[in-house]
Structure 1
Amino acid sequence: MNIIDKFHNWRRKLRWNKQYRNGRWDNLRKPIEAERYYTILKFINSHGKVNPSILDLGAGEGVLNEYLDDEMFSYFLGMDFSEVSIEKAKMRKFPKTEFITADIHTFTPSQKFDVIIFNEAFYYVHDSEKQHVLDRMLNHLNDDGILIVSIYREGIGCWEYFEKLQQLDYTIVKTEEEKTYWKIGAYKK
């Protein structure tokens, strides 16, 4: 990223922290989001190994963890750009779970995972960094692991990055609200 992009990225971080502090993202717990989370779980159960290690990129306050039973995974690492959201997630004390604050543009996991989820996060990656971020995450996906991508609405400028991967599953989660839907895909390297 050039210096201007880095500045905008810094400003975005300030905005996200303010929004999480003010409850702007509390809507992620509303019933309208539930089917999206259930679809992510379905993909993990259908295509992932039993008791996987999971990396959730865009974990926020740990909402996905609210849908997971402790027996469903061996280890969970939630990463988000917002320190405020991660502090809220840590206060929840989910078992077998850690949360860290990091910038997806530079974050390098310290281990490999069975499941990596771009949880409403890939479209926030700067266009010049999308392939680098995807490649770095794929390098930290176990050989038999799966990648799950959840993108709100169309995700223009995102889906073409996953075309080279083996698609295991894909669906559109629709809601009663006009223009509120998610596209979710599951992939192997």
Structure 2
Amino acid sequence: MNVADRFHNWRRKQRWNKQYRSGRWENLKGEKERVRYEKIVELTEKHGTKNPNILDLGSGEGVLLDYFNVENITSFYGMDFSSVSIKKANKENRNKATFICADLHNFTPEMHYDVIVLNEAFYYIHETKKRAVIDTMAEHLKPNGIILVSIYREGLGCWEYFKNDRFEELDFSTITTNEEKTYWKIGAYKLN
């Protein structure tokens, strides 16, 4: 990214921190979001390995972890851009979980994972970095591992990175709510 893009990225981080401080994202814990989180868990259980270790990119306060039965996972590693959301995630005593603040544009996992979730995060990646982020995640996916992608509404400029010869699509769903414009598309993929 050039200097202007890095500045924009820094400014966006400040905005996310302010929003998490103000409680703007408390709605992620609400009933409307439940269907999305439950679908991610369902796809993990259907296509992932037994007792997976999970990397949640865009974890926020760790809401996704609350939907898993921690007895059925080995570990949960959450990463988010907002330091405020990570502080909130770390305030709770969560068994088997680690949460860190990092920028997805240059984040490199320290280990390999059975499940990598791009949790409402992929469309925030700068266009010039999307391919590099996918390459990094693919390098840190265990054999037979899966990548789950959750995108609000259409996710223009995102799906073509997964709907190609590099990945096999295992599952793809549109998760709707009773509000016409509130829906998510969620895909499960493995490397070819």
Tell me the amino acid that sits aligned with residue 46 of structure 2: S
After superposing on structure 2, the runs of 4+ consecutive aligned residues of structure 1 that deviate more than 3 Å are none
Give the letter aligned to residue 10 of structure 1.
W
- Using the alignment, how far apart are the partners of 1:123 and 1:12 within structure 2? 13
| Partners of 2:83 and 2:126 in 1: CA distance | 20
Show the counterpart of 2:181: 179
The residue matched to 2:123 in structure 1 has which SS? helix
Q: After superposition, where does 1:39-188 map in structure 2 within 5 Å?
A: 39-164=39-164, 165-188=167-190
What stretches of structure 2 of length at least 5 have no aligned partner?
none
What percent of counterpart residues are identical? 57
1:33-91 CA distances to partner (integer Å, 9 max, x unpaired)? Answer: 00000100000000000000000000000000111111121011000000000000001
CA RMSD in angstroms, aligned pairs only:
0.5
> What is the letter of the counterpart of residue 17 of structure 2?
N
Q: CA deviation at 1:93?
A: 1.6
Q: How many residues align?
A: 189
Separation (CA, whole Å) in 2 of partners of 1:163 and 1:82 = 29
The answer for the alignment partner of 1:8 in structure 2 is 8
Q: TM-score, normalised by structure 1?
A: 0.99
